[in-house]
Structure 1
């Protein structure tokens, strides 16, 4: 079977890549670990992952944050906070944000996600993230807990680049409470999920209830524009599935009307994408 063969190839692969040492918990990941799940809108599914194995989303949370912000704040408010333009720069680039007068090019960049995080309703960062978790569970059936161990690891080494980004957003009037925005961002990055759960969630996005169809379309358009940062245009031209990656090694791919692919493999390429994750997605789309 195609997917079984792809999974075996991934598990046996001797590729070289890197683990993100700026998050100690992620730097301890088993570089040989591989997990994947696929779900189609017609009900077919496939899974090769350890039961109950949760992996933190990291930047794969950004489409979910965007969807939530669109639903709660509305597209007009969101467009005032962040654009939907491609970027040829890295996900945490500061120079581009400064050149653009503090208006992030798209919500898949760290700056765009920080701007949206700072706009979420609630009191404390913990409260605002809990509201997001409850809303997502109510609308999609997906419940993701925060991995407090990974969160503590993220917070153990202050991220100077994200702090510079959020200060630029403060200066441009897009963030009012920088510390809360940073904590919300970090908490959302540390949401944990299994690969079957992520594939099921992606399948919901591939065939959403009618009341959410327009906002899902906008979310998927943003993934297509910036989900793989500077590699997004080439990926969409050659593969065609809107795909988001995270430095935890998670890759999440969605195709409207067809389904979703979720994969975890922690070794990253220089752009911060899972090497085997992207390879698996590119091969797995033939299953549909």
Structure 2
């Protein structure tokens, strides 16, 4: 499989960055409204150690829903497959990621998958720890092991902004608590969840996380198994079927790699046996995916023949 080179990356980003005007920065989280739509960055971390990048590569963004992949990996490692999927389902959905309607019709009212908000909240509720700080520390610890950078932390302003405006997520939590899907304090769960979503890093750091999944859960630096390969495969499968919200089918057709997006404008992609790609562009389409990110990954996939299909 052909490595990604710097010259190609720069040219492709130049072609797609003009699409930023076709979308809109997320404004329902007040702290994210400050992001400039023309911002753009991309990094590709090869599993052989080489990283190529272009754009505002030192800019730190919050990973938002990309964190759902990491919390799922931790829940699987802590509790196993049977326990995790007794709380959440395995099926994609055509509903928006914030939908409550499927909880009302499903039995036993469990979320359809771990990548929608309800499912991610149920997964975060499963994480071991005496309080929210313990659980956030567990997620950060995994990120530190993967990236080799223990300075990565959450953005306190974004976390506070999300917590104070999480009215819909509170509704999802109380509905699931009423039906026995989650337990304990809803406010503590939301404190954990908003902090995990507010974890902040740049594209090169995030691309290294993608590369770990491309390397079947093994560290690029030491070869150590950080996430068991079976659990890594489960995470990548959900990224293919559910990772791009209710545009996952279209993304699978046009790009064809496991990927997860976040409403900050980030997309994390995994190219098996080659590496991880992270794209940032805060201007979003109507389904909550980065306009620049979608265009760039479509170009890269076509050029390098990435599609797993």
Alignment TM-score, normalising by the size of structure 1: 0.94
> 1:43 offset after TM fit, Å?
3.6
Task: Give the aligned partner of residue 252 of structure 1.
Answer: 268
Alignment TM-score, normalising by the size of structure 2: 0.88
Give deviations 1:50-97, integer Å, cap 9, x for gaps. 353211001111111111111111111111111110101000100111
Query: Which deviates more from structure 2 when the two are superposed, residues 135-144 or residues 55-64?
Result: 135-144
Task: Give the aligned partner of residue 125 of structure 1.
Answer: 132
* 1-structure distance, mates of 2:47, 2:168: 39
> 1:139 offset after TM fit, Å?
5.4
Give the unaligned 5+ runs of structure 2: 1-6, 219-224
Q: Establish whether residue 16 from structure 1 lines up as the match of residue 22 from structure 2.
A: yes
Task: Give the aligned partner of residue 256 of structure 2.
Answer: 240
Aligned-residue CA RMSD in angstroms?
Answer: 1.8
Q: Is the 8 A contact 2:147 2:208 kept in 1?
A: no
* 2-structure distance, mates of 1:49, 1:203: 20
> 1:131 offset after TM fit, Å?
2.2
Judging changes above 3 Å, is the alpha-carbon distance between structure 1 residues 44 and 139 closer, same or farther for their aligned structure 2 residues? closer
Task: Give the aligned partner of residue 218 of structure 1.
Answer: 234
Query: Which deviates more from structure 2 when the two are superposed, residues 243-252 or residues 129-138?
Result: 129-138
Tell me the matched-pair count: 287
* 2-structure distance, mates of 1:108, 1:192: 19
Give the unaligned 5+ runs of structure 1: none
Task: Give the aligned partner of residue 92 of structure 1.
Answer: 98
* 2-structure distance, mates of 1:142, 1:198: 11
Q: Which of the numbers 251, 258, 270 marks the counterpart of 2:286?
A: 270
Query: Aligned ranges for residues 129-168 of structure 1 at < 5 Å?
Result: 129-138=136-145, 141=148, 143=150, 144-156=152-164, 158-168=165-175
Q: Which of the numbers 108, 118, 123 marks the counterpart of 2:115?
A: 108
